[in-house]
Protein backbone atom coordinates (compact mmCIF):
# COMPACT_ATOMS: atom_id res chain seq x y z
CA UNK A 1 0.00 0.00 0.00
CA UNK A 2 1.10 3.60 -0.57
CA UNK A 3 2.51 5.20 2.58
CA UNK A 4 3.14 8.67 1.16
CA UNK A 5 4.83 10.72 -1.52
CA UNK A 6 8.26 12.31 -1.28
CA UNK A 7 8.76 16.03 -2.10
CA UNK A 8 10.49 14.75 -5.27
CA UNK A 9 7.30 12.94 -6.28
CA UNK A 10 8.66 9.46 -5.52
CA UNK A 11 6.05 7.18 -4.02
CA UNK A 12 6.81 5.39 -0.75
CA UNK A 13 5.23 1.96 -0.23
CA UNK A 14 4.45 0.03 2.95
CA UNK A 15 4.53 -3.77 3.04
CA UNK A 16 3.20 -6.10 5.73
CA UNK A 17 4.88 -9.44 6.50
CA UNK A 18 3.88 -12.26 8.83
CA UNK A 19 5.12 -15.63 10.04
CA UNK A 20 3.89 -17.48 13.11
CA UNK A 21 3.76 -15.04 16.04
CA UNK A 22 5.59 -12.26 14.18
CA UNK A 23 4.13 -9.41 12.16
CA UNK A 24 6.22 -6.67 10.55
CA UNK A 25 5.78 -3.60 8.39
CA UNK A 26 8.58 -2.40 6.09
CA UNK A 27 8.76 0.88 4.18
CA UNK A 28 10.53 1.50 0.90
CA UNK A 29 11.72 4.80 2.41
CA UNK A 30 15.04 4.07 4.11
CA UNK A 31 14.23 0.33 4.02
CA UNK A 32 12.64 1.13 7.39
CA UNK A 33 11.40 -1.59 9.71
CA UNK A 34 8.38 0.41 10.88
CA UNK A 35 6.78 -2.15 13.20
CA UNK A 36 7.68 -5.57 14.54
CA UNK A 37 4.96 -7.31 16.53
CA UNK A 38 5.86 -10.28 18.71
CA UNK A 39 2.74 -12.10 19.90
CA UNK A 40 0.74 -8.93 19.20
CA UNK A 41 3.09 -6.45 20.90
CA UNK A 42 5.08 -3.97 18.82
CA UNK A 43 8.69 -4.04 20.09
CA UNK A 44 10.30 -1.38 17.85
CA UNK A 45 9.91 2.39 17.82
CA UNK A 46 8.30 3.73 14.67
CA UNK A 47 6.49 6.73 13.26
CA UNK A 48 3.00 7.06 11.82
CA UNK A 49 3.51 9.19 8.71
CA UNK A 50 6.08 9.80 5.99
CA UNK A 51 6.30 13.42 7.06
CA UNK A 52 7.31 12.24 10.53
CA UNK A 53 10.11 10.15 9.02
CA UNK A 54 11.24 13.14 6.96
CA UNK A 55 11.28 15.55 9.90
CA UNK A 56 11.22 13.71 13.25
CA UNK A 57 13.23 10.51 12.81
CA UNK A 58 16.43 9.55 14.59
CA UNK A 59 17.05 6.75 12.06
CA UNK A 60 14.08 4.79 13.49
CA UNK A 61 14.24 1.31 11.89
CA UNK A 62 16.27 2.48 8.88
CA UNK A 63 19.22 0.94 7.06
CA UNK A 64 22.21 3.21 7.70
CA UNK A 65 24.88 3.63 5.01
CA UNK A 66 26.92 4.04 2.92
CA UNK A 67 28.99 4.07 6.09
CA UNK A 68 27.05 3.41 9.31
CA UNK A 69 28.34 5.01 12.51
CA UNK A 70 31.05 7.71 12.55
CA UNK A 71 33.97 8.74 10.36
CA UNK A 72 36.30 11.23 12.03
CA UNK A 73 36.16 14.64 10.42
CA UNK A 74 34.25 13.13 7.50
CA UNK A 75 37.64 12.34 5.95
CA UNK A 76 39.44 9.18 4.90
CA UNK A 77 42.09 8.06 2.41
CA UNK A 78 41.68 5.13 0.03
CA UNK A 79 44.41 3.94 -2.33
CA UNK A 80 46.22 7.24 -1.93
CA UNK A 81 43.20 9.48 -2.63
CA UNK A 82 41.68 11.66 0.06
CA UNK A 83 37.88 11.80 0.33
CA UNK A 84 35.65 14.26 2.18
CA UNK A 85 32.11 13.22 3.07
CA UNK A 86 29.45 15.38 4.73
CA UNK A 87 29.87 16.29 8.39
CA UNK A 88 26.54 15.97 10.22
CA UNK A 89 27.43 14.97 13.79
CA UNK A 90 29.56 17.68 15.35
CA UNK A 91 32.91 17.45 13.55
CA UNK A 92 32.19 13.96 12.19
CA UNK A 93 30.16 12.16 9.55
CA UNK A 94 27.42 9.92 10.90
CA UNK A 95 25.50 7.14 9.12
CA UNK A 96 26.57 8.10 5.61
CA UNK A 97 26.08 11.85 5.80
CA UNK A 98 23.23 14.30 5.42
CA UNK A 99 21.44 12.17 2.81
CA UNK A 100 22.47 8.64 3.68
CA UNK A 101 20.75 5.41 2.78
CA UNK A 102 18.19 6.03 5.54
CA UNK A 103 16.71 8.93 3.52
CA UNK A 104 16.58 7.22 0.11
CA UNK A 105 13.62 5.50 -1.51
CA UNK A 106 14.66 1.90 -2.11
CA UNK A 107 13.36 -0.34 -4.90
CA UNK A 108 11.34 -3.41 -3.97
CA UNK A 109 12.91 -6.30 -5.84
CA UNK A 110 10.90 -9.15 -4.34
CA UNK A 111 8.19 -9.61 -1.73
CA UNK A 112 6.39 -12.65 -0.32
CA UNK A 113 4.14 -13.09 2.67
CA UNK A 114 7.10 -13.42 5.02
CA UNK A 115 10.02 -11.65 3.31
CA UNK A 116 10.96 -8.59 1.31
CA UNK A 117 14.09 -7.62 -0.62
CA UNK A 118 14.85 -3.97 -1.27
CA UNK A 119 17.68 -2.64 -3.46
CA UNK A 120 19.43 0.69 -3.77
CA UNK A 121 21.93 2.04 -6.29
CA UNK A 122 24.22 4.66 -4.78
CA UNK A 123 26.02 6.46 -7.64
CA UNK A 124 29.68 7.37 -7.71
CA UNK A 125 30.16 10.52 -5.62
CA UNK A 126 26.96 10.02 -3.60
CA UNK A 127 27.63 11.95 -0.37
CA UNK A 128 31.27 12.06 -1.47
CA UNK A 129 31.84 8.29 -1.51
CA UNK A 130 33.66 6.75 -4.49
CA UNK A 131 32.24 4.06 -6.74
CA UNK A 132 28.74 3.14 -7.85
CA UNK A 133 27.41 0.78 -5.19
CA UNK A 134 24.53 -1.66 -5.63
CA UNK A 135 23.18 -2.71 -2.24
CA UNK A 136 20.32 -4.90 -1.06
CA UNK A 137 18.67 -5.84 2.21
CA UNK A 138 16.27 -8.74 2.76
CA UNK A 139 13.99 -8.96 5.78
CA UNK A 140 12.78 -12.50 6.46
CA UNK A 141 10.38 -13.58 9.20
CA UNK A 142 10.95 -17.16 10.28
CA UNK A 143 9.18 -18.72 13.27
CA UNK A 144 10.07 -16.39 16.18
CA UNK A 145 12.90 -14.53 14.44
CA UNK A 146 13.56 -11.79 11.92
CA UNK A 147 16.69 -12.15 9.79
CA UNK A 148 18.37 -9.32 7.91
CA UNK A 149 20.63 -10.22 4.99
CA UNK A 150 22.68 -7.56 3.22
CA UNK A 151 24.66 -7.68 -0.04
CA UNK A 152 26.60 -5.05 -1.94
CA UNK A 153 28.88 -4.74 -4.99
CA UNK A 154 30.84 -1.79 -6.34
CA UNK A 155 32.49 -0.77 -9.62
CA UNK A 156 35.35 1.09 -7.88
CA UNK A 157 37.06 0.77 -4.49
CA UNK A 158 34.93 2.22 -1.70
CA UNK A 159 34.26 1.86 2.02
CA UNK A 160 31.08 0.27 3.30
CA UNK A 161 29.38 -0.33 6.63
CA UNK A 162 25.69 -1.26 6.71
CA UNK A 163 23.41 -1.76 9.69
CA UNK A 164 19.79 -1.54 10.78
CA UNK A 165 19.00 1.21 13.27
CA UNK A 166 15.91 -0.19 14.99
CA UNK A 167 15.15 0.90 18.55
CA UNK A 168 13.80 -2.01 20.61
CA UNK A 169 11.57 -1.88 23.66
CA UNK A 170 10.51 -5.38 24.69
CA UNK A 171 7.82 -4.02 27.01
CA UNK A 172 6.31 -1.90 24.25
CA UNK A 173 6.12 1.11 26.61
CA UNK A 174 8.07 3.13 29.12
CA UNK A 175 11.85 3.19 29.06
CA UNK A 176 14.41 0.42 28.65
CA UNK A 177 16.58 1.18 31.70
CA UNK A 178 15.25 -1.96 33.39
CA UNK A 179 15.99 -4.20 30.40
CA UNK A 180 18.74 -6.67 31.28
CA UNK A 181 21.53 -7.03 28.72
CA UNK A 182 24.24 -9.62 28.23
CA UNK A 183 26.88 -8.99 25.53
CA UNK A 184 29.36 -11.75 24.74
CA UNK A 185 32.28 -9.35 24.33
CA UNK A 186 35.54 -9.23 26.28
CA UNK A 187 36.54 -5.94 24.65
CA UNK A 188 34.96 -2.64 23.64
CA UNK A 189 36.12 0.47 21.78
CA UNK A 190 36.84 3.48 24.02
CA UNK A 191 36.00 6.79 22.35
CA UNK A 192 37.10 10.40 22.61
CA UNK A 193 34.93 13.40 23.45
CA UNK A 194 33.28 13.34 20.01
CA UNK A 195 32.69 9.56 20.03
CA UNK A 196 35.53 8.56 17.72
CA UNK A 197 37.36 5.34 18.73
CA UNK A 198 40.84 5.83 20.15
CA UNK A 199 42.02 2.72 18.30
CA UNK A 200 42.30 0.65 21.47
CA UNK A 201 40.42 -2.62 21.97
CA UNK A 202 40.01 -2.25 25.72
CA UNK A 203 39.09 -5.06 28.13
CA UNK A 204 35.61 -4.70 29.59
CA UNK A 205 36.58 -6.42 32.84
CA UNK A 206 36.25 -4.11 35.81
CA UNK A 207 34.43 -1.40 33.82
CA UNK A 208 30.77 -0.38 33.37
CA UNK A 209 31.08 -1.91 29.88
CA UNK A 210 31.33 -5.46 31.18
CA UNK A 211 28.13 -7.15 30.07
CA UNK A 212 29.63 -10.65 30.01
CA UNK A 213 27.26 -11.18 32.94
CA UNK A 214 23.73 -9.71 32.67
CA UNK A 215 23.16 -6.16 33.90
CA UNK A 216 20.21 -3.80 33.76
CA UNK A 217 20.89 -0.90 31.39
CA UNK A 218 20.24 1.72 34.08
CA UNK A 219 22.30 -0.05 36.74
CA UNK A 220 25.55 1.75 35.84
CA UNK A 221 26.50 5.23 34.56
CA UNK A 222 22.85 6.19 34.21
CA UNK A 223 22.45 3.99 31.14
CA UNK A 224 24.71 6.28 29.08
CA UNK A 225 25.79 3.74 26.47
CA UNK A 226 26.65 4.51 22.86
CA UNK A 227 29.68 2.28 22.30
CA UNK A 228 30.88 -0.46 19.99
CA UNK A 229 31.59 -3.87 21.46
CA UNK A 230 33.97 -6.40 19.89
CA UNK A 231 31.81 -9.48 19.64
CA UNK A 232 32.91 -12.95 20.72
CA UNK A 233 29.35 -14.26 20.38
CA UNK A 234 25.84 -12.87 20.57
CA UNK A 235 23.73 -10.46 22.60
CA UNK A 236 20.76 -11.26 24.84
CA UNK A 237 18.19 -8.77 26.14
CA UNK A 238 15.54 -9.65 28.73
CA UNK A 239 12.58 -7.54 29.79
CA UNK A 240 12.21 -8.73 33.40
CA UNK A 241 8.52 -7.96 33.99
CA UNK A 242 7.29 -10.03 31.05
CA UNK A 243 10.29 -12.34 30.66
CA UNK A 244 10.35 -11.50 26.96
CA UNK A 245 13.79 -12.20 25.50
CA UNK A 246 15.60 -11.11 22.35
CA UNK A 247 18.74 -12.91 21.20
CA UNK A 248 20.93 -11.30 18.55
CA UNK A 249 23.43 -13.19 16.39
CA UNK A 250 25.44 -11.77 13.52
CA UNK A 251 28.27 -12.30 11.07
CA UNK A 252 29.57 -8.80 11.86
CA UNK A 253 32.58 -8.23 14.16
CA UNK A 254 30.92 -5.60 16.34
CA UNK A 255 27.71 -4.21 17.74
CA UNK A 256 26.98 -0.59 18.62
CA UNK A 257 24.98 -0.67 21.84
CA UNK A 258 23.05 2.59 22.13
CA UNK A 259 20.60 2.96 25.01
CA UNK A 260 18.67 5.84 23.42
CA UNK A 261 19.84 8.47 25.87
CA UNK A 262 19.84 11.25 23.28
CA UNK A 263 16.23 10.82 22.17
CA UNK A 264 14.59 14.21 22.59
CA UNK A 265 10.80 14.50 23.00
CA UNK A 266 10.98 18.02 21.57
CA UNK A 267 12.26 16.59 18.27
CA UNK A 268 10.76 13.09 18.17
CA UNK A 269 7.69 11.40 19.67
CA UNK A 270 9.99 9.59 22.12
CA UNK A 271 11.93 10.56 25.22
CA UNK A 272 15.33 9.43 26.49
CA UNK A 273 15.82 5.66 26.75
CA UNK A 274 12.50 4.85 25.04
CA UNK A 275 14.34 2.18 23.07
CA UNK A 276 17.74 0.54 22.71
CA UNK A 277 19.71 -0.10 19.55
CA UNK A 278 21.93 -3.09 18.81
CA UNK A 279 23.49 -2.04 15.51
CA UNK A 280 25.50 -4.99 14.21
CA UNK A 281 28.33 -3.63 12.07
CA UNK A 282 32.03 -3.12 11.45
CA UNK A 283 33.81 -0.74 13.78
CA UNK A 284 33.32 3.04 13.67
CA UNK A 285 35.97 5.07 11.83
CA UNK A 286 37.56 1.92 10.39
CA UNK A 287 38.75 3.75 7.23
CA UNK A 288 41.05 5.77 9.51
CA UNK A 289 42.01 2.94 11.86
CA UNK A 290 44.46 0.47 10.27
CA UNK A 291 44.24 -1.83 13.28
CA UNK A 292 40.50 -2.41 12.76
CA UNK A 293 39.00 -4.97 10.35
CA UNK A 294 38.90 -3.45 6.87
CA UNK A 295 35.69 -1.99 5.48
CA UNK A 296 37.09 -1.57 1.95
CA UNK A 297 35.01 -3.14 -0.82
CA UNK A 298 36.62 -3.58 -4.25
CA UNK A 299 35.28 -4.43 -7.71
CA UNK A 300 34.75 -8.15 -8.13
CA UNK A 301 34.09 -8.62 -4.41
CA UNK A 302 30.66 -9.18 -2.91
CA UNK A 303 29.81 -7.84 0.52
CA UNK A 304 27.51 -10.08 2.55
CA UNK A 305 26.25 -9.73 6.10
CA UNK A 306 23.54 -11.42 8.15
CA UNK A 307 21.92 -10.63 11.50
CA UNK A 308 19.10 -12.44 13.30
CA UNK A 309 16.90 -11.15 16.12
CA UNK A 310 15.15 -14.06 17.84
CA UNK A 311 12.34 -13.62 20.36
CA UNK A 312 10.85 -15.76 23.10
CA UNK A 313 8.07 -15.00 25.54
Exactly one of 187, 239, 279, 282 is catalytic; name it. 279
How far CA 5 is from CA of 16, 24, 86, 105, 299, in Å, comes to 18, 21, 26, 10, 35
The question of whether 95 is a catalytic residue gets the answer no
Q: Which of 95, 165, 227, 273 is catalytic?
A: 165
Q: What is the rounded distance in angstroms from the CA atom of residue 229 to the CA atom of residue 210?
A: 10
Q: How far apart are CA 17 and CA 59, in angstroms?
A: 21
Annotated binding residues, as ranges? 69-70, 165-167, 226
Q: DSSP character for 54? A: H
Which residues lie across from 304 on neighbouring strands? Answer: 151
Report which of 64, 75, 3 is spatially closest to residue 35, judged by C-alpha positions. Answer: 3
Q: How far apart are CA 282 and CA 294, in angstroms?
A: 8
- Please enumerate, by residue number, every residue annotated as part of a binding site for beta-D-galactose: 69-70, 165-167, 226
Half-sphere exposure of 142 (CA within 13 A, CB side): 10
Strands 163-164 and 63-64: antiparallel
**Catalytic-residue membership of 165:** yes
Active site residues: 165, 279
Amino acid sequence: MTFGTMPSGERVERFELSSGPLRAAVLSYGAVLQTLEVYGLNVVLGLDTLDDYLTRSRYFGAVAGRYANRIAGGRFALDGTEYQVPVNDGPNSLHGGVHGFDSKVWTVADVTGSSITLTLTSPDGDQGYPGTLNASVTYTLEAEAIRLDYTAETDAPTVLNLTNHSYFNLAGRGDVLGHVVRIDAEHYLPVDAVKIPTGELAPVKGTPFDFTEPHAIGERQGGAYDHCFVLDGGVTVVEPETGRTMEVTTTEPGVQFYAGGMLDPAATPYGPHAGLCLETQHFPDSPNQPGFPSTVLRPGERFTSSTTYRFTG
